[in-house]
Structure 1
Amino acid sequence: MLWLVPLVPIVAGALIATLGARSRTSLGVLAGGVVSATLILTVLAVVQGWSATLIWSDAIRLTAALTPLSAALAVTVPVIALAVISHATQHEARQGLARLTGLMIVFAGGMQLVVIANDLLTLLIGWELIGACSWALISHKWTDKENPQAGLYAFVMTRFGDLGLFVAAMALFAGTGSFDYASIATLSGPWQGLVAYGILLSAASKAGQVPFAPWLFRAMAGPTSVSALLHAATLVAAGAYIIARLEPFLSVVPGWQAVTIAIGLTTALAGGLTAVLQNHSKRLLAASTSAQLGFMFIAVGAGYPGVAILHLMLHATFKAPLFLTAGAAHDATGSYRLDRMRLGRVMPLIAGLAVIAAASLAGLPLTGGGWSKEEIVSAAEHTSFWLAFSVMIGGGLSAVYATRFALLAFGRSQKEGRDIPAPGWKETVGIASLVTLTLVASLLWVSPAATVLANALGATLPEGTMTELVMSMIWLAAGLVTGFYLVHQSPALGRTGASAAASDWLGLPTLIDRGVVQPVDALARAAARADDRLLDAGLNATAAFADALSRLADRFGEAASDGLPEGTANIFGLLGRDSRRLQTGLSHHYYAYIIGGVFVVAAILAAGA
């Protein structure tokens, strides 16, 4: 029965994608029904403890099961998808809307398969499906040639990281004869390292961690609803989820926790600074996603996977509406430039919803995002004070970029009279429902609520200190002040000059281009030249020799082949004619032949004697 959780949205989504032109209402009803059914099935699976096994062969089987952590995320995915996909059916362009809606549902179904997987082979199937869906969704507006190129860049970047998961699966099977997660615990030596670091590599690429982070900017070519789903509950979430899910098996590998923390901390700080420098609203939010997922990597590396999943769930509730409001601002202004927005007077309801979600992104007290961020700081403090201090700096950067986004996109403009229609209620209801979840998450600041949720997830909450909380609040306040200052003094920060260059992941794409792309391209060109000059030259010489041989055969071969039988025939003909001359019909000639033959025989006998 558990297979129904991913299969229902995958099959139904694929069918919806083939429907062609349909009204927004009918698509909304269909999509809402499918995702709602997925949510109901997921809740039933969690309550009744469903599991599933599909025997492929004696050695290979696909398995699915739910742990408390995976169950929580399995419910989160359709909840977020329901709001985002419903918004997409009412907001996105009509052309190709059925295809877009169906693919988004398949995307959510693929993520459900990733979440319920209980072995690396099943995980790989879901992993590949969400990767393929991301490429198709980013490239949705394919008539603009830049979009397929952006989709291909994101696909290739994440595919490179996916090689790690393939290596991990092969190493696990080679070492244990099984793909089951539990068999990871039985590994040792090189097999153990290949599995642990292969999974980490693949998780980092999917989660947009350094050095794979630049693909998230290319993914912004997709529709805003796709960005909301991708960043909140599907592709990038898969990276953080899988290391949290497998942390008990992977954390025992030497150096794994330290490397995980290093990746997360580097991305949290670099992503935070990149977001601060961005003038493109969606790219600001994309960089913030990398940074927030970096916090989750830190929590996993510090030994608190439950805290990482909690932050992942809460992050989904405020990141999805932020992307959707960015899309509304783009439609109103025709641009993603933050310095051209300030739509607070034009669409006050959307502005209010965006401010609430941005407050949670900033990590303000009494917000869900603020609670989970402080839990991560506490988790980091259990590892090292300096790690906790670094996370506080990352939290301060979160306050800066969240403030810039909220005030520049939805602050009150000094310009009056802009005739911009606000989004209708059908577009707004999805955003409002997600922000409502963000507000409900504020209850986590009340100790019993947090304890109940942690117990339900089987998570351990780290004990924090008052000193850590005070220091974190100081960095938060500094971030807010800095954000206000940049909004008023440098509203176009990141538009031109050095800040614009640095806003593209601090020059990381250029480094990748010069250090990886160009050398590989040069190697490919050299191989092509070698192919032309060596391999092709050999083939061409062989062909020329064969051609010359055929011409020679054409000139002399026919004469030789025809001359042999004809010459033989002529010789035998000549012999026959000469033989006929001996047949004169005169008896004395024949007596002479006989006497001559007798003498020849006698001579032969005499010689032999």
Structure 2
Amino acid sequence: MSASLAGLVLSPALTGAVLLLAGRRADRAAGPVAVVVTGVTVALAALVAVTRPRLSAPFLGIVEGGDLRLVVDGLSAVLVVLVTGIALLVTAFAVADLPTDAARARFFGYLLLFVAAMLATVTAATLPALLLAWEVMGATSYALIGFRWEEPGKLAAGTTAFVTTRAGDLGLYVAAGAALAATGSLGLADLNTSGGGWADLAAAGVLLAALGKSAQLPFSAWLSAAMQGPSPVSALLHSATMVAAGGYLLIRMQPLLAATGWAATAAAWIGALTALVLGAVAVAQSDLKQLLAASTAAQVGFVVLAAGVGATAGGTAQLVAHAAVKAGLFVAAGAWLTALGTKQLADLRGAARRYPGMGAAVAVAGLALAGIPPLSLWATKDEVLAGVDGTALHVVGLAAAAVSAVYAGRILVVVLARPAGEEAVDREEPGTRQIPTTTTAVAGVLAVFAAGLGVLAVSAVADAWKVALDADGEPSPGLGDLLLSGVLALVVLGLTVTVARVRPATVHWIQRSPLASWAGLRHVLSPRPALALARVMAAVDDRLIDRVVTSLATGAGRVARQAARADDGALDGAVTGLAWATRRAADGSARVDAGVVDGGVRATARIIHRAGRAARRPQTGLLHQYYVQAVVGLGFLLVLLLVVR
């Protein structure tokens, strides 16, 4: 079944690449093709969620865990179904929402590549696979946020998001280095076995990357800039994919966070504080998309909190429920922006009455966002808070949940209100147009899920959910906890509606507060300081480093020329003279060898040869001659003996 997993990732990736290569020629077919492909990925996601396949491709063969490995387990099974389901609905919305003259092939090409990267991210089992998917996701998100690059501010918004998230992404490379040094492996599961300081370094890297991707404190402000992107981009990137990726990573790496201790505590507090602070920022917004962006960071804060306290099932449920709720609200914001030409809350008064179908979907999603029973985020927040051990952290979590009812109430009180001085709403008001049926249907489907996931409050369903995620044994909220949070949400929502109607000056005062500018986070993490630093470093490089390098190169050239002259004039002469002398000695040696040694050898051989011939003459074979020779020899010896004596 590994082919189904390969098809899940490759079908959107390859289709997206083809659309990008085809360019404007494929604009007309791009939308339908994207819908078909995302529909196929939904079917494949359902298949792999049941069969749980594995897939591996060689990459870094010299390192254990260096392959591109994808694995579907309980957590990734939930995420692939979530991502593909939201992608299909958002793609259908984009087909209806994008202008007819837009570069649709480019948009849907990047969108499909982004979906493929997110699917690879949630199934990655090794760091190389995760890093590759993480990088593609970041690059395509930049292209999608800055899709209308020719309009002022759009490209800068994409740059802000890209630079901020990339700063956090460096943490993953730090974690990979720590894992390799500590365990010799790049497997994600092996990160948990890192010991000592390496585990701390790996946990810090993972935490940094996740906080940056999920727009948690102090990285939250990039999400504000990202709202410059098209509405379908906001509906996808900031509900179930990019912003959710950091929360998913922390849930996946929860054993590593727990092993270090401090990392789990840091994640829990950062998540809780983000939920509270960014919730307050959302309350102060006058722009609907900005409100939804700040509330996204706040709601994902509960996921990060869950990862810190070990509430894996609760964090995953929060991730899924938030995706359905927030995707529906972003679809509505985009639809109203296209139809009414505004995203300012003041100008959206009565929008739900003007478009009843969309208004009903927004009402359900807004009540779910507020944590009203029995809707989804009421149940999932309590699942998260059930794992919190500590009064202070629990109080902060409850306060953040109460604030969510405030910003959700701000949306509902505006869009459900009757326009001032009007008894009825004219749906054909000049300057407006109807919302496509497809868009309303998408918002309706998401609203159904936003309401239906409240079933997680039923203990039997919650227990089955934990078993599916291999998280059985995690604590669940009691009836008292559920009643407390539900009553708190109802009371706060009622107070919000009352204050908005009776004391509108209070709302205006909040909108003029520092919270409206994202509590100053835009200035703290603006890309301008980074760009200014880059310009300074470029000047240093041009005026100092380049000059030093050029001077060193010039000096090296001069030294090389002097060395060449020394080589030609001295070394080559010495080598040539030595070779000439050696040759002369060899010639003399050859003459001695030929004239003396060879001559002596030849003379000795001639003498021996002549002696041999002389010795052969007496050998006649005649017996009497041998007797004569013997007599002569004996006589010679006798004479010699007499002489010597």
User: By how many angstroms is 1:443 displaced?
Assistant: 2.6
Q: Secondary structure at the match of 2:346?
A: helix
Q: Distance in 2 between matches of 1:109 and 1:138?
A: 17
Measured after TM superposition, the shift of residue 462 of structure 1 is 1.9
Distance in 2 between residues matched to 1:375 and 1:533, nearest whole Å: 59
**Is 1:369 equivalent to 2:377 in the alignment?**
yes
Aligned pair partner of 1:16 in 16, 19, 23: 19
Q: Is there any run of 5+ residues in structure 2 with no aligned partner, and where? A: 557-645
Aligned residues: 541
Q: Once structures 1 and 2 are overlaid, which stretch shifts more, 343-352 or 411-420? A: 411-420
Alpha-carbon offset, residue 149 of structure 1: 0.7
Partner of 2:89: 83
Distance 1:49 1:500, change over 3 A: same
Cα distance in 2 for residues equivalent to 1:313 and 1:33: 23
**Which residue identity does 2:47 align to in structure 1?**
L
Q: Is the 8 A contact 2:26 2:105 kept in 1?
A: no
Letter in 1 for 2:337: H
Tell me whether 1:468 sits opposite 2:481 in the alignment: yes
Alignment-derived partner of residue 356 in structure 2? 348
Residue of structure 2 equivalent to 1:223: 230
- Aligned partner of 1:599 in structure 2 is none
TM-score (norm 1): 0.83
Q: How is 1:142-221 mapped onto 2 (pairs within 5 angstroms)?
A: 142-221=149-228
In the aligned structure 2, how far is the partner of 1:377 from the partner of 1:545?
68
Preserved CA contact (<8 Å) 1:311 1:373: yes
Q: Alpha carbons of 1:477 and 1:440: their partners in 2 closer, same or farther (altered >3 Å)?
A: closer
SS of match in other structure, 2:373: coil
> 1:396·1:478 contact (CA, 8 Å) conserved in 2?
no
What is the CA deviation profile of residues 107-130 of structure 1, one whole-angstrom value per residue up to 9, with x for unaligned ones? Answer: 111100001100111100110011
Over 3 Å counting, the alpha-carbon distance change for 1:412 and 1:450 in structure 2 is farther
1:299 and 2:300 matched: no
The letter for the 2-side match of 1:370 is: W
| Contact 2:19–2:26 (Cα < 8 Å) also in 1 | no
Report 1:440-479 matches (<5 A): 440-460=452-472, 461-479=474-492
Structure 1 CA distance, aligned partners of 2:315 and 2:554? 67
The one-letter amino acid of 1:450's match is A
Q: 1:95-110 residue pairs with structure 2 within 5 A?
A: 95-110=102-117
- For 2:387, the equivalent position in structure 1 comes to 379
Instruction: Tell me the alpha carbon deviations over residues 128-172 of structure 1, each in whole angstroms, 9 at most, x when there is no partner.
Output: 011011000000001113101110110000000000001111211
Letter in 2 for 1:126: A
For structure 1, which segment, 181-190 or 318-327, has the greater mean C-alpha deviation from structure 2 after superposition?
181-190
Task: Sort the Cα spacing of 1:175 and 1:486 in 2 relative to 1 into closer, same or farther, 3 A.
Answer: same
Matched, 1:316 2:305: no
Tell me which moved more, 235-244 or 334-343.
Answer: 334-343
Q: 1:236 to 1:543 in 2, by over 3 A?
A: closer
Residues 467 and 55 of structure 1, relative CA distance in 2, 3 Å threshold? same
Would you say the 8 A contact 1:344–1:413 is kept in 2? no
Q: Give the 3-state SS of the residue equivalent to 2:259 in structure 1.
A: coil
- CA contact under 8 A between 2:52 and 2:77: conserved in structure 1? no
Q: Describe the superposition over 1:515-567 as per-residue Cα deviations: whole angstroms up to 9, x where unpaired.
A: x954x666556556656765677789999999xxxxxxxxxxxxxxxxxxxxx
Gap change, CA 1:451 and 1:426, over 3 Å in 2: same
2:5 equivalent to 1:6: no
3-state secondary structure, aligned to 1:221: coil
Output the CA distance in 1 between the equivalents of 2:446 and 2:241. 16
Cα deviation for residue 457 of structure 1 reads 2.2
Counterparts in 2 of 1:102 and 1:496: CA distance versus 1, 3 Å: farther
1:411 is aligned, of 403, 409, 417, to: 417
> What is the aligned partner in structure 2 of residue 503 from structure 1?
516
1:596 is matched with none
What SS does structure 1 have at the residue aligned with 2:186?
A: coil
> 1:182–1:536: structure 2 CA closer, same or farther, 3 Å change rule?
closer
The residue aligned with 1:281 is 288
**Distance in 1 of aligned mates of 2:449 and 2:531:** 48
**Whole-Å separation in 2 of the counterparts to 1:545 and 1:25:** 61
Q: Distance in 1 between matches of 2:169 and 2:555?
A: 47
2:367 paired residue number: 359
Amino acid across the alignment from 1:58: I
Of 41, 55, 62, which residue of structure 2 is paired with 1:58?
A: 62
Give, in angstroms, the shift of residue 436 of structure 1. Answer: 2.0
- Distance of aligned partners of 1:523 and 1:403 in 2 relative to their CA distance in 1, 3 Å threshold: closer
Q: Aligned runs of 1:37-52 on 2, under 5 Å?
A: 37-52=40-55
Aligned: 1:432 with 2:444: yes
Alpha carbons 1:341, 1:410 under 8 Å: kept: no
Q: Distance in 1 between matches of 2:369 and 2:485?
A: 15
Q: How far apart are residue 346 of structure 1 and its match?
A: 1.3
Kept in 1: contact 2:278–2:294 (CA 8 A): yes
- Answering whether residue 346 of structure 2 is matched by residue 339 of structure 1, we say yes
- The CA distance in 2 between the partners of 1:430 and 1:505, in whole Å, is 30
Q: Summarize the Cα distance change of 1:53–1:402 in structure 2 as closer, same or farther, 3 Å threshold.
A: same
8 Å contact kept, 2:335–2:439: no
Moved more, 526-535 or 4-13: 526-535
Aligned equivalent of 1:485:
498
Identity %: 34
Q: What is the deviation of 1:426? A: 2.2
Match of 1:71 in 2: 77
CA RMSD, 1 decimal: 2.7
| SS class of match (2:57) | strand
Q: Note the alpha carbon deviations across 1:169-218, whole angstroms, 9 max, x for none.
A: 12111222211022123211221111111001000000000010000000
Amino acid at match of 2:126: D
Structure-2 residue corresponding to 1:577: none
1:305 Cα offset (Å): 1.5
Separation in structure 2 between the aligned mates of residue 446 and residue 534 of structure 1, nearest angstrom:
68
Kept in 1, the 8 Å contact 2:221–2:525? The answer is no
Query: Cα 1:327–1:535, aligned 2, differ >3 Å: closer, same or farther?
Result: closer
- How far did 1:464 drift? 2.5
- Bigger mean CA deviation after superposition, 468-477 or 100-109: 468-477
For residues 342 and 15 of structure 2, the distance between their equivalents in structure 1, rounded to whole angstroms, comes to 34
What's the secondary structure of 2:501's corresponding residue?
Answer: helix
Aligned to 1:53, the other structure's residue is in SS state strand
* Partner Cα separation in structure 1 for residue 542 and residue 40 of structure 2: 58
Q: Structure 2 vs 1, CA of residues 486 and 136 (structure 1 numbering), >3 Å: closer, same or farther? A: farther
Q: CA deviation at 1:391?
A: 1.0
**Kept after mapping to 2: 8 A contact 1:6/1:113:** yes
SS at match of 1:379: coil
Residue of structure 1 equivalent to 2:256: 249
Identify the range of structure 1 (206-215 vs 325-334) with the bigger mean alpha-carbon deviation.
Answer: 325-334
Structure 1, unpaired ranges of 5+: 547-609
Q: Alpha carbons of 1:528 and 1:126: their partners in 2 closer, same or farther (altered >3 Å)?
A: closer
Q: Contact 2:96 / 2:436 at 8 angstroms: preserved in 1?
A: no
Confirm or deny: 8 A CA contact 1:329 1:409 kept in the other structure.
Answer: no
| Bigger Cα Rg | 2
Q: Which amino acid aligns with 2:46?
A: V
Please say if residues 346 and 421 of structure 1, whose CA atoms lie closer than 8 Å, have aligned partners that are also in contact: no
2:334 to 305, 327, 330: 327
Indicate the SS of the match to 1:105: helix
